[in-house]
Amino acid sequence: MARVRDPEGKRAALLAAGLRLAGQGLQGWSISTITAEAGVAKGTFYVHFAGRAEYLLALHQLFHERIISGMGEAVGDQPPGRSALLAGALAYLDGCLNERAVKSLLLEARIEPLIQAEIAARNEMTAVLTEPHFAAMGWREPRTCARLFIALVAEAALLELPAGVPDPRVRRAVAEFLDRTVGRT
C-alpha cells in the first residue's frame, strides 16, 4: 500500500486500517499490521496513540459516533416517546450489523480498562438522551428505565451478531418490551 504523506490524514488512515482489519479479531492484530495496512511508518502510530488500548479506544469512539449519527437520522424530529425510542433502537441494531466486524472486535476489547470506562460514560450519556422518552411515556423511574433499555438493546445486538442479519424475533421482542410495560409502575 502507498505511504500516506498527509500528516493530518495519518491518524484517519490508521483508524481506517483498523476498520478494515477488524474482522481478524484482536489476536490477529499487531501495530505492524495496522501501520502496514494504513501505509504509514510504525513510529507514526505512536505519534497518534500511546499504545494499543488508546487505539482501540479511538476505534470504539469512531464506531459509536457513526452509530449515534444513524440513530439521530432514524429518530429525526419525532417527539419523545415510544416511536422515537424504537426507531433509535432499531437504528442501533442496524448500525451494529452494518459494522459487524468492528462490533465483534470491540466486544473482544471490552477487557481493556479504557474501553470499560468509555462504555460506562457512553451508556450514561445515552441514558441522559433516552430518559425523556421514558418520561414522555409516563414511566416512574425514567433514568433507570433508560439504562435498562440500553442494556436490553445492547443484548439484542449481541443476539443478532452471529448471523449478521436482522432477527425479526429479537426486534419484535424489543418493541414488545416497550408495549407491554407502557404505563406500568
Instruction: Give the whole-angstrom CA distance, residue 10 versus residue 41.
Output: 10
Based on the number of CB atoms within 10 Å of its own CB, is 135 exposed (0-12), middle (13-18) or buried (19 or more)?
Answer: middle
> Cβ contacts of residue 164 below 8 Å, gap of 6+?
97, 100
**Taking residues 44-61, what's their average pLDDT?**
92
The predicted structure's pLDDT at residue 153: 97
Q: Answer with the residue of higher pLDDT: 108 or 69.
A: 69
The predicted structure's pLDDT at residue 72: 94
Model confidence at 182, in pLDDT bands (50, 70, 90)?
low
Q: Which amino acid type is present at position 127?
A: A
**Taking residues 90-109, what's their average pLDDT?**
90
Q: What is the mean pLDDT of the chain?
A: 90
Cell of 73: 437520522
Number of other residues whose CB lies within 10 A of the CB of residue 86: 21
> Which segments of 41-112 does DSSP mark as H helices, in order?
42-48, 52-75, 82-98, 100-109
**Taking residues 21-42, what's their average pLDDT?**
88
Q: List pLDDT tens digits, range 120-169.
A: 999 999 999 999 999 999 999 999 999 999 999 999 999 999 999 999 99
Q: List pLDDT tens digits, range 8-31.
A: 689 999 999 998 898 887 887 889
The predicted structure's pLDDT at residue 185: 46
440500553: which residue's cell?
Answer: 150
Q: Has residue 96 got a pLDDT over 80?
A: yes
Contact predicate 75/133, CB 8 Å:
no
- Pick the closest to residue 149 from 167, 126, 168 (CA basis): 126
Contact predicate 72/139, CB 8 Å:
no
The predicted structure's pLDDT at residue 1: 55
The predicted structure's pLDDT at residue 12: 93
Rounded to two decimals, the pTM is 0.87
- With left for phi above 0 and alpha for psi between -120 and 50, is residue 4 left, alpha or beta? beta
- With left for phi above 0 and alpha for psi between -120 and 50, is residue 112 left, alpha or beta? beta
